[in-house]
Structure 1
Amino acid sequence: MIFVLKLFGAIVIILGLTKLYDVVKNKQKGNKSPKKFVFGIVLVIIGIAIFPSWSNSSIDAEKWAHSEFREVYWNSVNTIKDTDSQIDEIVFYLESDSQQLTKNAFDNLGIEYKDKSPEEIKEVLNRAERKIKDANKMINDYKVPWYLSNNIYKDGNKIMALQSKQLDLLQEKVQGYKKKGGKFSEKAWDIRTKLDKLEEETNGILEENNLLYY
């Protein structure tokens, strides 16, 4: 029933826009039709009133939170966590001072130290970059339209936007290490601070609306 009403609302909007287009087109030819113009406006208003209101039903919103939102949320969380760890691990091989200290410690313990080649480091960073891009694409695919004003949709979009910002910062981190190597470490600390603030803001919204409990 809800789907039928959504479809009906969309059809009414399209009809209204078509009427308005015809009025504008005829006006250019010198034919004015105030009644048709008013009728077109009325159709658009009715369609807008029907379509978003039924699309904003709590049942649909809760289903979205339980399936689509939950899927994209956890995918983003895991991507952020995994890629951040991978980047931090590889940074060790880009910082010569830290690397030498560890190498000396391994030698003292009689443990063989295995270095990573520039190609291996580059591949790890490229792999992290691909994961970040895939996660960001998924967020864009799962965002709901602006006219869905149910709080579940609105808060879900807010959280996905914050996660997208985190992914963008990780992307900046990857690019920084690719271009500057270990010299990017100081800038990376600033990025870490921003990531922590975004995560805190995300968790605050989740605690407030219990989006993951639907």
Structure 2
Amino acid sequence: MRIVIAEDAVVLRDGLCLLLTSRGHEVAAAVGDGEALAAAVAEHRPDVAVVDVRMPPSHTDEGLRAAIRIRQDHPDLGVLVFSQYIETRYAAQLLAGGARGVGYLLKERVADVKDFLTALDRVAAGETVLDPEVVTQIMGASRRGETLALLTPREREVLALMAQGRSNTAIAEALFLSYGSVEKHVSQIFTKLGLTPSDTDHRRVMAVLHYLQA
């Protein structure tokens, strides 16, 4: 199997190279950023790319976004995301349309080298291999997005201002609404998000968290 590795941590990158070559695989390239990954895939036409999520320059989601781009350019390429982090937005894009030959494993949850190698083989064969925690978080993010879709455009504007820490009075001034109208919008937001009155939870904070997580 011909493999390209995209991992900015040098020690881990070299370790993956040694592991894979010792198992008879060919590591065509081992790079440290998304642009180099795209170039390596175009040059070497690997069977699978093993990609970390966080890479230079911002160390946020460059690897995952690069994985989406190379899949668009090379739809038959297997992609195994191997990371400490779950980035639900781009993970869902990578898996959109029932994508074949895609995997997403969490580094700390791979207890056996054989599990990693088996996942690599399955991705190369066109299967989808996902850590259960990845599935849980993607589904949770999807449900939150669906719930926010129930809000009217005005309610979303109010919730966005709540997320900025604005009071009802400040929201009324910003949106040129009466204070009573803002109160009604906030009440509707709580209802649609399923946030019932509680002695232990602050509904305003919970609504903002819901918005930020979605």
TM-score by length of 2: 0.28
| Greater C-alpha radius of gyration | 1
Q: Which has the higher strand share?
A: 2
With the length of structure 1 as denominator, give the TM-score of the two structures. Answer: 0.28
Q: Which has the higher contact order (CA 8 A, sep 6+)?
A: 1
Which structure has the highest helix share of the two? 1
